[in-house]
Structure 1
Amino acid sequence: MNRKKKYRRKVAAVLAILILFIAVNNSNLFVQPSGEAPLLLAHRGLAQTFTMDNITNDTCTAERIYPPEYPYLENTISSMKAAFKAGADIVEFDVHLTKDGQFAVFHDWTLGCRTNVNGTTKDYTMAELKKVDIGYGYTADQGQTYPFRGKGVGMMPSLTEVLDHFPNSSFLINVKSSDSEEGRLLASFLSRLTKKQQSQLAVYGGDEPIDALKKEMPDMRVMSKASIKQCLLPYVAVGWTGYMPNSCKDSQLHIPEKIAPWLWGWPQKFVNRMKNADTRVIVVAGNGSEFSSGFDSAEDLKRLPSDYSGGIWTNRIDRIAPVYQ
């Protein structure tokens, strides 16, 4: 009986030490504040926003915008310029292949929602897309008025135009398709850039194109649903020890705010661990069901830890940047 008691005491002592180690090793109490403001990522530049109520993948968001507060349309040179001027550190935009093998900067899978033509970007050359009115379908009053109709002609840029216009700026490029060939073609395009420009870019999207791009450009920071799982699942399993899985290195993570507190070391120790692995952490609003949800008001920011210094996803850089400036 005494042996059993001694054994139990030893087990209890070991467990207590283990629990104490886990608590201390993942506590932020002894982490020095970085003193750095969070990295601000402007989704689609400074663009028209819309209600997220009952939204689906097929919803035409141009038909549900709020009354316009500024003249910018998403994924345009002017919207990106305004976002950087407002205080964005990174601007996110979307790319699609064109008929003549270029990459057009445009959000939707199809053209019918926002523009005055139908089909996809693959049905048109880049020159033809320059004649399209990308502001044609926007309305804030169920079609009574269209405030941007006629004002968006010539405003759809190519990827080349964007990177030439902002040679020293940081971007997050979204590959909208799930075609691995697009990943390879994008890798071919990006590989012709200078090393400095490449270092200022990150790419995310479907598993297939991102996997293909990463094989061609191993040093490019990328992200997909598969890469997030490959990092976070082993991190949840062993991250409490401080060990960093190789799958978490040289990457980017978009972490929903509802999931973030369950990660070992959240917030600052987690961010520091990922930063040491050259992985960028971006927190998005909500539970992950809609990765376009952002922190779009000063009130939203109150939900973040006061010492958070990772990245913040926002659809309203004009409202968020002044809080940190």
Structure 2
Amino acid sequence: MKRRFLAAWGVGAILASIYLANASWIASPPTGRPIVVAQRGVHQLFDGNSDDPNACKAGHILPPHHRLIENTLPSIRAAIDAGADIVEVDVRETADGEFILFHDIGLECRTDGAGLVGKTPFDRMKALDVGYGYTADGGKTYPLRGAGRGLMTTLDEALRTFPAQRFLVQMKDGRSAGPNLVSYIDKRHPDAWSRIALFADTPATMAAKALRPDVPVIHDRRAAKCTLTYAALGWTGYVPQACRDGTIIVAMNTRALAWGWPNRFLGRMAKAHVDVMLIGSVFGLGANDFTRLDRIEDLARVPTGFDGLIWTDRVETIGPAVRKRWALDRDTMPPRHAPSTV
């Protein structure tokens, strides 16, 4: 009987310690407002979540509610007008060393052109219709044909057109993209580094970081490792090394795994210089089995003083809602220039 009592007392003490170590009410609440990251500007939505560069996603859009096309200047402008603090864009290098805003490795899916982006010079692509291949009914109709004629643009043009805008630039071409993109920006827009962050697989970001140690970057694998490791060990109060000076991703449907959520968790991350990026839902173990924070009901669960990143595919919905809820904060607390990740 005495052993059972001692065992029960021990278990209770451990559980109480875990609770107190992660009790949100003990920590001070954050003060600030969110930073809205608009994925590819205002764009068409897809009926799947695969980000496979070889998949023709333009053939699987949802019925359009507008005629804007991702990675174009009108799309970026609409995102800024909707309240985007940072606009994420995809970049690929052309045969002649230009960097275009484009997702796919080839031209056939989305445009009326053909061939690999990396083997085609920009002057052969700039007149293409980037809305040519979009269909929501299996190819019966193509509602965006003509809407994207001549809208293929370059990173150079985007930086010139929006001289104050912050960008999260996703490098789609692998490791070689890092040094090549750094050289490109150094030559054309050396003053733009203060408003640029880079996002890619770890080899590409590390290659860019070696040349530009001051540039903020998000490593995809490191962010995933940070998120999973903290879910396993964060109950101890430990912030994994993979997280420190990096990024942790929190899905609103699994935020219970963000030990100490919200106040204690956010305090730990701030102390370890970790950017917190909120998404919508995780529903599997695959790299793309998630949704970004696109629903108003998920936004309602964001702490009032949250000052991290909100990553959304629906900036036209989430941006105005953030502006409304955090109206005073937007006036008095300007956001950081970009993610502080390394």
TM-score, scaled to structure 2: 0.79
- In structure 2, the partner of 1:285 is 280
Report the CA distance shift for 1:113/1:233 in structure 2 as closer, same or farther (over 3 A). closer
Q: 2: distance between equivalents of 1:292 and 1:232?
A: 14
Q: Conserved in 2, the CA contact under 8 Å of 1:221 and 1:251?
A: no
Is the counterpart of residue 92 in structure 1 residue 81 in structure 2? no
Shift of 1:21: 4.3
Identical pairs, percent: 36
Q: 1: distance between equivalents of 2:186 and 2:232?
A: 35
Structure of higher RCO (CA pairs closer than 8 Å, 6+ residues apart): 2
1:221-253 Cα distance to aligned partner (Å, 9 max, x none): 222333125534664566455454554233333
Shift of 1:47: 0.6
Is the counterpart of residue 62 in structure 1 residue 62 in structure 2? no
Is the counterpart of residue 33 in structure 1 residue 29 in structure 2? yes
Is the counterpart of residue 135 in structure 1 residue 125 in structure 2? no
Task: Give the match's secondary structure for 1:299.
Answer: helix
Shift of 1:38: 2.5
Once structures 1 and 2 are overlaid, which stretch shifts more, 228-237 or 308-317?
A: 228-237
Report the CA distance shift for 1:294/1:29 in structure 2 as closer, same or farther (over 3 A). same
Q: 1: distance between equivalents of 2:150 and 2:101?
A: 12
Is the counterpart of residue 318 in structure 1 residue 313 in structure 2? no
Task: Name the Cα RMSD after superposition.
Answer: 3.1
Q: 2: distance between equivalents of 1:249 and 1:188?
A: 28
Shift of 1:276: 3.9
Matching residue's letter, 1:227: R
- In structure 1, the partner of 2:337 is none
Task: Give the match's secondary structure for 1:218.
Answer: coil
Q: 1: distance between equivalents of 2:186 and 2:15?
A: 47
Shift of 1:90: 1.4
Once structures 1 and 2 are overlaid, which stretch shifts more, 42-51 or 151-160?
A: 151-160
Shift of 1:200: 2.7
Task: Give the match's secondary structure for 1:209.
Answer: helix
Shift of 1:169: 1.6
- In structure 1, the partner of 2:166 is 170
Choose from 246, 250, 257 the match for 1:255. Answer: 250
Report the CA distance shift for 1:252/1:143 in structure 2 as closer, same or farther (over 3 A). same
- In structure 2, the partner of 1:271 is 266
- In structure 2, the partner of 1:218 is 213
- In structure 1, the partner of 2:148 is 152
Matching residue's letter, 1:81: R
Q: 2: distance between equivalents of 1:47 and 1:154?
A: 17
Once structures 1 and 2 are overlaid, which stretch shifts more, 65-74 or 83-92?
A: 65-74
Report the CA distance shift for 1:35/1:145 in structure 2 as closer, same or farther (over 3 A). same
Shift of 1:68: 2.3
Aligned length: 316
Q: 2: distance between equivalents of 1:248 and 1:79?
A: 32
Is the counterpart of residue 102 in structure 1 residue 98 in structure 2? yes
Q: Conserved in 1, the CA contact under 8 Å of 2:113 and 2:125?
A: no
Shift of 1:208: 2.0
Shift of 1:91: 1.1
Gaps of 5+ in 2: 325-342
Report the CA distance shift for 1:265/1:130 in structure 2 as closer, same or farther (over 3 A). same
Report the CA distance shift for 1:187/1:254 in structure 2 as closer, same or farther (over 3 A). farther
TM-score, scaled to structure 1: 0.83
Once structures 1 and 2 are overlaid, which stretch shifts more, 12-21 or 254-263?
A: 12-21
Q: 2: distance between equivalents of 1:189 and 1:154?
A: 23
Q: 2: distance between equivalents of 1:291 and 1:77?
A: 29
Task: Give the match's secondary structure for 1:41.
Answer: strand
Gaps of 5+ in 1: none
